């Protein structure tokens, strides 16, 4: 009897793990569609990208705001977890910072339209913004501190200022003549210490 219970528990755990993987795949597909078509993209387009029916999406995310929130939480987590991985793998802390900021900019590109999608739930938007800051500010701070300690950037840059500045540079309104990545790169060059300093 105990082996049956054990098998049942393992099977239930396995089903939960499969459901979580499927949900993560769905959120990744939705994020890709949001980048290409904005957060107002048709649900059928997201379903096609994820290889599921629209009913599956509505079962997990009854409203567009629910789906948008889940996508952004998923992306926040990916961005947060990437910080320590990049720091461990990169040739220098500054390179890790630059790679992390590339991911952060990718995240910000999909963020446009979030306020409109969630306007009916301002408390949900406020909670998501708080979650964003709570998860990403410490990661940015760790990367900045490591680059300062390595002598690669000047001390004194606050993570909130950097993230807010990058966020402001990423507001391009879809202007094809404006590439925020070029300005973000200039900002990063300005952080670097030069041999004469």
> Which tens digits make up the pLDDT trace of 84-134?
999 999 999 999 999 999 999 888 876 665 555 555 566 667 788 899 999
Q: What are phi and psi of 192, to 5 degrees?
A: -65, 145
Looking at the structure, tell me whether residues 103 and 190 fall in a common domain: yes
Looking at the structure, tell me whether residues 17 and 78 fall in a common domain: no
Looking at the structure, tell me whether residues 25 and 42 fall in a common domain: yes
From the list 45, 51, 79, the residue with the least C-alpha distance to 64 is: 45
Query: What does the pLDDT read at residue 24?
Result: 83
Return the CATH number at 55: 1.10.10.60
Return the CATH number at 188: 1.10.357.10
| Spatial distance between the Cα atoms of 10 and 185, rounded to a whole number of angstroms | 49
**Prediction pTM value:** 0.78
- Find residue 153's DSSP bridge partners: 192
Parent domain of 43: 1-62
Q: What are phi and psi of 160, to 5 degrees?
A: -65, -45
Encode pLDDT of 1-44 as tens digits: 455 565 556 666 766 777 777 788 899 899 888 877 877 889 99
Domain count, the chain: 2
């Amino acid at each position: 009897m105990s082996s049956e219970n054990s098998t049942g528990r393992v099977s239930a755990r396995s089903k939960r793990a499969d459901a979580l993987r499927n949900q993560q795949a769905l959120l990744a597909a939705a994020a890709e569609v949001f980048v290409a078509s904005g957060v107002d993209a048709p649900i059928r387009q997201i379903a096609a990208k994820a290889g599921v029916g629209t009913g599956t999406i509505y079962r997990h995310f009854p409203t567009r705001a629910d789906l948008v929130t889940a996508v952004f939480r998923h992306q926040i987590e990916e961005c947060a977890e990437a910080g320590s991985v990049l720091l461990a793998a990169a040739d220098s802390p500054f390179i890790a910072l630059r790679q992390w900021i590339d991911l952060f900019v990718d995240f910000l590109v999909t963020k446009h339209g979030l306020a409109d999608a969630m306007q009916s739930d301002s408390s949900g938007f406020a909670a998501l913004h708080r979650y964003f800051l709570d998860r990403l500010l410490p990661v940015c701070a760790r990367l900045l501190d490591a680059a300062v300690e390595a002598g690669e950037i000047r001390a004194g840059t606050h993570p909130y200022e950097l993230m807010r500045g990058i966020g402001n540079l990423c507001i391009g309104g879809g202007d094809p003549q404006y590439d925020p990545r070029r300005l973000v790169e200039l900002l990063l060059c300005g952080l670097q210490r030069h041999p004469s300093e």
